[in-house]
């Protein structure tokens, strides 16, 4: 595989192609290792991209170097909310959510506010995303949807 200057190694040719092909408002999902990425893509229009050797923060950091977040929506990032049963059991939101929010806010030079989507609503949104990036992230509820902005 050929290499390019100033492109993070974690961004594969398939992922670079997806990022550059997306238009304003298109969405990309960064999925944890438990997420049904193949099934989601098979049931919808999203393309499957394999980044299973990398964590979501690593992939997100690389993407944010090239990818503007949408400024025309209240929440250009979305997380899969905990299920009611996990909330009732006392499970807390993953620490990754604040890390993602901080990373996005820093990259954008503004405060980026996330939105929480119920599990099945997240799956529905993901089916119609431009792509689903399957990562090796092992944290539960680590999934994030990014909405592309304009440059």
Task: List the domain boundaries for the chain.
Answer: 13-145
Q: Which two tokens stand for residue 144?
A: 């994030």
Q: Is 70 marked active-site?
A: yes
Whether residue 148 contacts residue 23, with contact meaning beta carbons closer than 8 Å, is answered with yes
- The number of residues making up the chain comes to 151
pLDDT for residue 1 is more than 60 = no
Q: Is 141 marked active-site?
A: no
Percent above pLDDT 90 for the chain? 95
Mean pLDDT of 112-128: 97
Q: In this structure, which CATH number among 3.30.460.80, 3.40.1650.10, 3.30.830.10, 3.40.220.10 belongs to the domain 13-145?
A: 3.40.1650.10
Of 35, 100, 123, 130, catalytic? 123
> Which band of pLDDT confidence, cut at 50, 70 and 90, is reported for residue 84?
very high
Angstrom distance (rounded) from CA 128 to CA 132: 10
Strands 131-135, 47-51: pairing kind: parallel
Of 35, 70, 100, 130, catalytic? 70
Q: Is 14 marked active-site?
A: no
Q: Which parts of 18-61 are beta strand (E)?
A: 27-31, 47-51
Mean pLDDT of 19-29: 97
């Amino acid at each position: 595989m050929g290499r390019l200057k100033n492109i993070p190694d974690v961004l594969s040719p398939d992922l670079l192609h997806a990022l550059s092909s997306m238009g304003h408002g298109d969405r990309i999902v960064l999925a944890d290792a438990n997420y049904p990425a193949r099934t989601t893509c098979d049931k919808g229009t999203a393309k499957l991209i394999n980044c299973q050797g990398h964590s979501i923060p690593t992939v997100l950091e690389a993407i944010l170097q090239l990818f503007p977040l949408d400024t025309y929506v209240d929440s250009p990032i979305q997380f899969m909310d905990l299920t009611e049963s996990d909330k009732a059991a006392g499970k807390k939101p993953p620490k990754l959510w604040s890390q993602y929010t901080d990373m996005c806010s820093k990259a954008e030079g503004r405060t980026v506010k996330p939105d929480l989507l119920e599990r099945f609503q997240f799956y529905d949104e993901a089916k119609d995303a431009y792509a689903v990036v399957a990562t090796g992230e092992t944290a539960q509820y680590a999934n994030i949807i990014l909405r592309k902005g304009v440059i």
